[in-house]
Each structure stands twice: as C-alpha cells, then as structure tokens.
Chain A
Amino acid sequence: GAGVSQTPSNKVTEKGKYVELRCDPISGHTALYWYRQSLGQGPEFLIYFQGTGAADDSGLPNDRFFAVRPEGSVSTLKIQRTERGDSAVYLCASSASGTSDSYEQYFGPGTRLTVT
C-alpha cells in the first residue's frame, strides 16, 4: 500500500506569491497533520484534521496560512503573500485515528518550499 505522498516535492516561488501544497494521506486514515521544518530544527506542528474539520489549528503562524481537507482525505496547505521566512520543508502526516496515543503518525517525504 502507498504511504503518505506530497506534491510537489520542491517548490520555488517569489516573495508575495500564493502557493498550494498537497498531501495525500494513507487510505482510510482519518487524522491528518501538517508540520513545518526549518533548517536545523525539528518539525513544528501547524494543524491537525480529524476527518474534514480542523481539530487544532493552533500552530498556524498567522492568517496567511490556511489548510483544507474538504472530503476527509486529501489536504491542501495554502500560503498567501509568501515571505522568505516561509522557506522550509512542509511535512504532512496521517494516522488511523487522532484519538489514541498509540496511533502512530506516518509522515510523507515533505515539500521543500523556497521563497526567493
């Protein structure tokens, strides 16, 4: 079975532009997570979906960041008016359930975003 996939693998954009990053979770996984990893840092939590709804968006840094999961499967992370500080690897993860500690999160390979 396929793991978590993310597209594109690399994205270069100019400052001020809008970008969309896509995540395809493992089939049947109800929980989906977005993280951001800057150079030399660990992954930083952004948002968590349980089904179609955002159960916790406390990690989104500001209102330029938005994420959707309209059908409870694929998710899109949207960044408006990109800034150079948004450059990072954006990781997506999914788990079978978001309601148990024992359900491990499976990570995708990430999208490397570079804002020039």
Chain B
Amino acid sequence: DQQVKQNSPSLSVQEGRISILNCDYTNSMFDYFLWYKKYPAEGPTFLISISSIKDKNEDGRFTVFLNKSAKHLSLHIVPSQPGDSAVYFCAAKSGGYQKVTFGTGTKLQVIP
C-alpha cells in the first residue's frame, strides 16, 4: 500500500525553465510533508518542508505547494539548473510520530 505516490519516475527540463515535481498521498493523517534530493551514492538531503496548516512554502528557487483537499503537493524549481539533476523524494509524516513515509522518487534531469 503506497501511501505516498510519485507517478512520474522521470522528468527532463531545459536549464532556466521551471521544474514541477508532483506527489500524491492517501493517508489523511499526514500533516507534515518534506522533499528530499538524492545524488547517486549519497544519502538523501533535506530540501524543503511544509506543514499542513500552510499551502505554500518558499526557499530561494524552491517552492512547495500543498493542496490538502486533493491530497496533492508539488515542488517547483525556478529557474532549473544542471546541478539540480538528481532524484527527488516526496515524504510525509503524522504529527507526534517520527516515522517518515517516502514516495518512490522522480529522477530530474536538467539539460544545459
């Protein structure tokens, strides 16, 4: 039972354009959402997070949008850079619990 779903296994974007990575979840108890970035042979690195009391959180080139009614969140990267090429994982947790549930990841390729 995949509670966090990333339906696009891969995405290619031209340098300078916007990258949009999507994530859906099924567990209505999730109230905190995170995005991680992973390069090959390295562990995931925290990128940005959002609490369910917000619908948007921005950090530099990265913005996460949350639509609770649709159980959907997205990560926007503007402008995309070649160094952004990596696998991006969407993750979620329930308040009070430290167990983090990850999606299957989306491999982003930013083409120079």
User: What's the count of A-B pairs with C-beta under 8 Å?
Assistant: 59
Q: Which of A11-19, A41-49, A66-74, A79-87 contacts B (4 or more CB under 8 A)?
A: A41-49
* B contact residues, range: 20 to 34
Given contacts A43-B89, A109-B42, contact A58 B99 (CB under 8 A): yes
Instruction: Output the least CB separation between B51 and chain A (Å).
Output: 7
Instruction: Output the least CB separation between A26 and chain B (Å).
Output: 12
**Which residues on A sit within 8 Å (CB–CB) of B98?**
31, 33, 48, 50, 55-56, 98
Contact B100 A105 (CB under 8 A): yes
Q: Which of B60-68, B69-77, B101-109 contacts A (4 or more CB under 8 A)?
A: B101-109
Instruction: Output the least CB separation between A67 and chain B (Å).
Output: 14
**Which residues on B sit within 8 Å (CB–CB) of A102?**
49
**Which residues on A sit within 8 Å (CB–CB) of B89?**
42-43
**Which residues on A sit within 8 Å (CB–CB) of B91?**
42
Q: Which residue of B lies closest to A92 (CB)?
A: B43
Contact A101 B42 (CB under 8 A): no
Interface string of A51-66 (1 = CB under 8 A from B): 0000110110000000
Task: Give A contacts to B, CB under 8 Å.
Answer: 4, 31, 33, 35, 40-45, 48, 50, 55-56, 58-59, 91, 93, 98, 101-102, 104-110
